Amino acid sequence: MLAQSLFENITYSFDTFLQAVGKETTATQGIKHSTVSVKNFFMANRIDWYCFYDKIANHVLFLDTGNPVITGSRFLDKTLQELTVSWENTSVFLTHFHVDHSGNLAYCLDRGSNGAYFIAPDAYDDSLVSQFLSWTRSSDAIRCDEQACQHLELLFGKDYFDGVNLDKCHHVGAGDAFDIAGYHLEVLPTPGHVSEHACLIDYEKGHLVAGDHLIYAKPGTMQLKPDQHLMYHYIESIKTLDSYKLSSVLMSHHDPLFYSAEIHEFIHHTWKSYEDFLPNFHERIKNLGPITVYGLASAKANQYPQGINTFAPSAQIRRIALMFGSLEALYDYELMERRLDDDGAYVYFTKRRL
């Protein structure tokens, strides 16, 4: 596996397995929910995994796949044993390609799953790692660190399709839909968490499969390239979600949400936290003068004993990517300007008021 050192010491345990979600009807068995506690994984300490089970059609739709190291793979077989469905009667929908969501994709397709559906992630290119380090003007220490570069390869998706049977992979987009277990689940492209993120939504039932689009975390989007507009898209999408009448929401790292008031409060809180974040963030950094992404990541880590070097190189990469996302958002919302220097680094500065 790519960047093995990033996955050392991970342990996991299933806390719940195939619990019912919401009301089950006699015609379908609906949605099954399993929860996994994870230790020492850099992205999350719990994974909520779901599948739709259509008893009449004898079909299971996996929502994401877990990962051999972070959740193991056997739970997928156990799921099918318990539901008495064969691998040939399964399909996979990926909300996005982060390792905790897509790591068992090859396993599912090799075991016999009939197809995987997802929005195509940005193509990987070997030059992206060095471009990221140039765009952000990252330090020589980071440039030369093997773990940092491996982490970037992982985030850029170098191994997303390693060993994956591409004949069984299908790209989807807005307008595509899955009919299963009485649900009509439309693909809702939701760039933000990453560019290829997609939710599923049943507008009539008010049911949303949110993946990592809704997440209990501080505001911030990691960005790896300029002009991806991830935080901008995220904020605009959250505003739209707030206008839908939702009655249930499945999230990949949180208990499911029910009841419109609870859902509205969660979505509204998320939107407000981003709306407040950008002007506050701008206020805090505007006096630093023209600044690069790495310069800002370093400045933000000043309170730690060894500044940004307090953190492992892989964690530094994520801090840099978060600052990239935030600075690009300030640029997208025209709160800052941006120039590209001769060395390929972006420099952000506050607009002069006339």
- Footprint on this chain of Fe ion (rule: CB under 5 A): 100, 212, 252
If the CB atoms of residues 29 and 65 are measured against Fe ion, the closer one turns out to be 65
What does residue 207 show for φ and ψ, rounded to 5 degrees?
-110, 130
Dist. CA 53–CA 333, nearest whole Å: 43
**Smallest separation, CB 277 to Fe ion (Å):** 20
**Smallest separation, CB 145 to Fe ion (Å):** 25
Dist. CA 123–CA 347, nearest whole Å: 26
If the CB atoms of residues 70 and 133 are measured against Fe ion, the closer one turns out to be 70
**Smallest separation, CB 197 to Fe ion (Å):** 10
If the CB atoms of residues 100 and 332 are measured against Fe ion, the closer one turns out to be 100
**Smallest separation, CB 254 to Fe ion (Å):** 10
**Smallest separation, CB 67 to Fe ion (Å):** 10
SS3 assignment for 61-74 = EEECCCCCCCCCCH
Dist. CA 11–CA 17, nearest whole Å: 17
If the CB atoms of residues 212 and 332 are measured against Fe ion, the closer one turns out to be 212
Task: Count CB-CB contacts under 10 A for residue 158.
Answer: 18
**Smallest separation, CB 98 to Fe ion (Å):** 5
Pair of tokens at residue 200: 């599923």
Q: Which residue is nearest to Fe ion (CB)?
A: 212
Contacts of 166 (CB under 8 A, 6+ apart): none
SS3 state at 9: coil
If the CB atoms of residues 65 and 326 are measured against Fe ion, the closer one turns out to be 65
SS3 content of the chain, % helix, strand, coil (to 5): 35, 25, 40
Burial of 194 (0-12, 13-18, 19+ CB in 10 A): buried
If the CB atoms of residues 97 and 271 are measured against Fe ion, the closer one turns out to be 97
Dist. CA 65–CA 36, nearest whole Å: 13
If the CB atoms of residues 90 and 252 are measured against Fe ion, the closer one turns out to be 252
**Smallest separation, CB 17 to Fe ion (Å):** 19
**Rounded to whole angstroms, what are the CA distances from 134 to 237, 294, 338, 341?**
30, 10, 15, 10
